[in-house]
Chain A
Amino acid sequence: MTTETGEILRVSDLRTYFPVRSHGLIRRVIGQVKAVDGVSFWVGSAETLGLVGESGSGKTTVARSVLMLVRPTSGQIVIDGQEITHLSPKALMPMRRKAQMIFQDPYNALNPRHTVGGIIGAPYRIQGIEPPGGVRAAVQALMERVGLNPEHYNRYPNEFSGGQRQRIGIARAVALRPKLIVCDEPVSALDVSIQAQIINLLRDLQQEFGLSYLFVAHDLAVVRQISHRVAVMYLGHLMEMAPRETIYTAPLHPYTHSLLSAVPIPDPKLQKGRSRIMLEGDLPSPIDPPSGCVFRTRCFQAQERCSVEVPPLIELAPGHHVACHFPVATLPAGMWTARAMLEAEPDVPVHRPQPASGQVSSAQLDRLPADGRPDSTRLRPKVRVGRSR
C-alpha cells in the first residue's frame, strides 16, 4: 500500500463518534452519531488525496480528526512517522509545525480584529520560531508569494474580498513550511472565476514546497483538477479509493457511479441527452445507520447479502480499493459514464484519456464471487434511465 515516495499521513481504522444526549437535567448519553466509522487511507509525500462525499458523509470530521481538532474515538493517525492520537494538546504542538489546515469559510476563519500581518505571522509567534530576516519580512514574502500586496500588511480582513481572504488563510497555513495541509472545502465559498485562481495557487505551492494535501470537497470537478488520488466517502465509510482518472473513468462502486452521473455537465448537448442514475431518497441517519453496507438503502445493486455483511475495502486492482459486494464495471448501454462522455464524438476535438494506471481488468473482476459479477439485467429495475422531458 505504500507509495514509492513515502507517506506523510497514514490513518488506520479511524472512528470518531459524537455522543447524542437526552434532553433535561441529567443529559444521559442515549446514542452515538458515528460520523466516521472505520476509515483507513494514506497520503504520500507531495501528493494530493481528494476526499469527496456529500454532506453528512463524515469527510469534514475526518479532516478535523486528522489534526486532532476533534478527538477520535479510536484508530491510529500517523503523521510523518509519529502516532499522534495519544498525545496531549501540549505534546501536539510540534506536530502542528508539520500539519496545517485551510478552512472553508474565509470570512470566519480569520480574526476580524487582527491585521493580516498578525494573522499570517501567528504561527511563528505560537511556535516560538524566528524566521531569518524577522517575522515581518517573512510574512511579506509570503503575502507576495500567494498574490497579496505586501504593503497591505497592516490591513484588516474586512478590507479584502473572499478570494483574497482565502489567500491570507493559505499564507498562514504554509508559513511554517508544513509537510501536510488539510484543506477543508477551500474553494466552495468562492465564485467560479476566483476558484480557478485558488486551485492554481494551491498546485503551485505544492510543487514549490513539496506539500502534501488532504483535499476535502464535495465538488467532483474541483477534486479531479487537484488530486492525484481520490477517496469517496458515504455515511462515515470509505466506499472507493483509486488514482484520479480511475475514479472518473473506471469507477467500480455503485455510489461513485451515481455521484458522477449526478454532476451536471456544462455542455447542453451532452447534458440534455444524458441518462442518469437517480438515487432515491436521502442519506440515512448516522445515529442509526443501515445494517451491512451503509449505502444499500439507496443502491441499485443491493442484494440480501448487503444488509447482512459489511463490505470490506478491498484492493481489486493495484491502488484501486472498493468496498462493495457487487461492484459495477460497466453500466447498461445508454447510461452515462465519464468514459462514455469522453468517447462521445463532440464538435470540438477532444484528446483521448490516457489509460489510467490501476484500472480493473475483467480477469480481476472474475476473482470476485460468482454472484458478485456485475449483471446488467439486475441493474435496470431500480435505475431510472432518461429524463421525463
Chain B
Amino acid sequence: MTTPGRPAEQPFLEIKDLAVAFPTEDGLVRAVEGVSLSIERGRTLAIVGESGSGKSVTAQAIMGLIDRKIATVTGEIWLDGQELIGLPADDLQALRGGKVAMIFQDPMSSLHPFYRVGDQITEAIKAHRSIGAKAARARALEMLRRVGIPAAERRIDDYPHQLSGGMRQRVMIAMALINAPELLIADEPTTALDVTVQAQILELITSLQGEFGITVIMITHDLGIVADVADDVAVMYGGRIVEVAPTGVLYAQPEMPYTLGLLSSIPRVDRELSKRLEPIPGNPPSPIHLPLGCVFQPRCTYWDRVAGGACLSVRPDLLATGAGHLVRCHLPAEERRQISQGVLNVVAGGS
C-alpha cells in the first residue's frame, strides 16, 4: 500500500513537528506546536487532553479542515506514504470521507436538519464513486443495519430530529464508514451522550474497527474511555504532546506530572472512596501567553526539584523513557518514576 519513495516500514500515519497557529486580535494563538506522532495500521490511538490542549486542532489538521487562509500549518503529515500538508483542495476532498473519515462530538449539528438521513448517507457514497440511486440506497440501508439502527428501512427516511442522540451518532458512524475508510478520527464521539448509550457506541466502534481493520484516532477528555478503547495514548497539554505510552503503561507508570495529576484528580467508582480529591492547582495556560519553559511548570508541584530552574526557561523535549513511552519533562527519569509510584499508591489506597 506504500507509494514509491517511502520505505515500507513507515507507520501508517506519521505526524512530524506539526504546528498550527491562528493570528487573532489579542495575539498569535499557538494552538499546536511540535506535535509528532505515529500510528501503526489497525491500532487505536487515543489523544487525551482538556479543552484548549490542541487535541481537536491536531485532528482537524490531519483531515485538512484548517483554513490555510486564517491559520498557518507547518510540519509533515504522512498518511500511508502520502504527504497531506499542502495537498491540493481536490485531492483532500477525495481523501476526506473516503480513505479518512471523521465522527464529531455533536451529531445534531453535524447532520443537515433538512435532509433525510438516508439521503445524507447516499450523498456521501456518491461523492466518492459513481453509483446508481437504488444501489446507493441499498448500501446506505445495509450500513444503517450494521450500526444497529432498529427498523432501518423505516428510519432511513427519517429526519435527524426524529432520531435520539444515540441513533444520530449511529447515523454519523454509518456515514463515516460508508466508503470503507482506512483511518477513522473520532472527536469526542460520546461526550454528548448518556453513559448507557456511550457504552453502546464505544462497543460499536471497537467491533467495527475489528471487522474492517480500521485505524482509529480517538480524541477524548475521559480517561475511562481511553482505558476502554485505546492501544496507545498521547496526552496533550498546552498545544503539545507531553506523554505517549501504550495504554497499560500510561495508567500504571505515568511519568509526566500532568498525566499523574490527571489520574489522581478524577473521582472513580471502582476504588475505595478518597476523602479528598487531589486537584491540579491553577488553570490551563493561555495559548497566547504560553510559559517560557515547560508549559505545565506553573501548575507543576515538582519543578523546583530540577537544578538551575530549567523548567522556568527551557522547553523540555519529548524523549524516550521506555518502549513506546515518551515523556516531555526535565525531571530525571528515576525521580519521575519514584514520584509517580508514590502518588499512585496513595491514590489507590483511598483516604
* Chain B min CB distance to A280 (Å): 8
A101-148: which have CB < 8 Å to B?
Answer: none
A176 at interface, CB cutoff 8 A:
no
> What is the count of residue pairs linking A and B with beta-carbon distances less than 8 angstroms?
171
A214-270: which have CB < 8 Å to B?
Answer: 218-222, 224-225, 244-245, 248, 258-270
Is the Cβ of B270 less than 8 Å from the Cβ of A341? yes
Residue-by-residue, is B94-113 near A (CB-CB < 8 Å gives 1, otherwise 0)? 00000000000000000000
Is the Cβ of B252 less than 8 Å from the Cβ of A342? no
B272 at interface, CB cutoff 8 A:
yes
Stretch at the interface among A7-15, A76-84, A348-356, A366-374: A348-356
B339 at interface, CB cutoff 8 A:
no
Is the Cβ of B206 less than 8 Å from the Cβ of A266? no
A191-219: which have CB < 8 Å to B?
Answer: 191-197, 199-200, 203, 218-219
Is the Cβ of B270 less than 8 Å from the Cβ of A267? yes
B278 at interface, CB cutoff 8 A:
yes
- A348–B281 Cα distance when bound, in Å, is 26
List A contacts of B223 (CB < 8 A). 192, 266
Is the Cβ of B279 less than 8 Å from the Cβ of A197? yes
Stretch at the interface among B70-78, B173-181, B194-202: B194-202
Given contact pairs A192-B262, A193-B265, A387-B203, A265 touches B283 in the complex (Cβ within 8 A): no
Given contact pairs A264-B225, A387-B203, A350 touches B50 in the complex (Cβ within 8 A): no
Is the Cβ of B349 less than 8 Å from the Cβ of A349? yes
Residue-by-residue, is B315-351 near A (CB-CB < 8 Å gives 1, otherwise 0)? 0000000000000000000000000000011001110
Which of A195, A244, A264 is most buried by chain B, counting CB atoms within 10 A of its CB? A264
B30 at interface, CB cutoff 8 A:
no
B67 at interface, CB cutoff 8 A:
no
B267 at interface, CB cutoff 8 A:
yes
List B contacts of A353 (CB < 8 A). 272
Given contact pairs A199-B267, A389-B207, A264 touches B345 in the complex (Cβ within 8 A): no
Is the Cβ of A218 less than 8 Å from the Cβ of B194? yes
Q: Which residue of B lies closest to A160 (CB)?
A: B283
List A contacts of B161 (CB < 8 A). none
Stretch at the interface among A61-69, A271-279, A323-331: A271-279
* Chain A min CB distance to B283 (Å): 5
Q: Which residue of B lies closest to A164 (CB)?
A: B283
Is the Cβ of B226 less than 8 Å from the Cβ of A266? yes
* Chain B min CB distance to A269 (Å): 7
Is the Cβ of B265 less than 8 Å from the Cβ of A192? yes
A338 at interface, CB cutoff 8 A:
yes
B132 at interface, CB cutoff 8 A:
no
* Chain B min CB distance to A126 (Å): 31
List B contacts of A194 (CB < 8 A). 279, 283
Q: How many residues of B contact A (CB 8 A)?
A: 59
Is the Cβ of A351 less than 8 Å from the Cβ of B345? no
Q: Which residue of B lies closest to A266 (CB)?
A: B223
B150 at interface, CB cutoff 8 A:
yes
* Chain A min CB distance to B209 (Å): 9
Q: Which residue of B lies closest to A244 (CB)?
A: B273
B251 at interface, CB cutoff 8 A:
yes
List A contacts of B199 (CB < 8 A). 261-262, 264, 276, 278-279
Given contact pairs A283-B164, A350-B348, A260 touches B262 in the complex (Cβ within 8 A): no
Which of A161, A191, A270, A352 is most buried by chain B, counting CB atoms within 10 A of its CB? A191
* Chain B min CB distance to A26 (Å): 24
A2 at interface, CB cutoff 8 A:
no
Is the Cβ of B272 less than 8 Å from the Cβ of A54? no
- A170–B176 Cα distance when bound, in Å, is 42
For the complex of A and B, 6 pairs with smallest distance between CB atoms:
A264-B224, A196-B279, A54-B194, A196-B277, A225-B267, A191-B50
What are 17 A-B contacts defined by CB distance under 8 Å? A54-B194, A164-B283, A219-B267, A258-B196, A259-B195, A261-B199, A263-B195, A264-B202, A265-B269, A266-B223, A272-B228, A282-B164, A349-B345, A350-B272, A350-B350, A351-B350, A353-B272
